[in-house]
Amino acid sequence: MTEQAHPQHPAAEPAPTAALTAAHVASTGHPAVDEVLASLARLDDRPAADHIEVFESAHERLRSALADAGDTGTTG
């Protein structure tokens, strides 16, 4: 019996990650969302124990921004 040659797959290595900073975050055009993204980009500078608080705050602020989306301040 002949063995078929299988290409060797090198062990998967995690891709190098560049530190994400607020300067690297593209603007969404929504100031509230941009601030949330910037706060997430600054997580590298904070202890891991602080991340939960930042995530919870980001979640609430994004929910609020979504709830307000389409609110033009006019009544029909």
8 lies in a domain? no
**Is 50 exceeded by the pLDDT of residue 37?**
yes
pTM: 0.59
The pLDDT assigned to 59 comes to 97
Assigned domain for 60 exists: yes
Res 64 pLDDT > 60? yes
Low-confidence winner among 8-12, 49-53, 66-70 (lowest mean pLDDT): 8-12
Is 26 in contact with 48 (CB distance < 8 Å)?
A: no
Residue 18 belongs to some domain of the structure: no
The total of structural domains in the chain comes to 1
Q: Is residue 35 in a domain?
A: yes
Residue 43: which domain range? 27-66
Residue 50 lies in a domain: yes
Residue 52 lies in a domain: yes
| Residue 43 placed within a domain | yes
**If we measure between CA atoms, which residue out of 21, 32, 16 comes closest to residue 69?**
32
For residue 5, the 8-state DSSP code is P
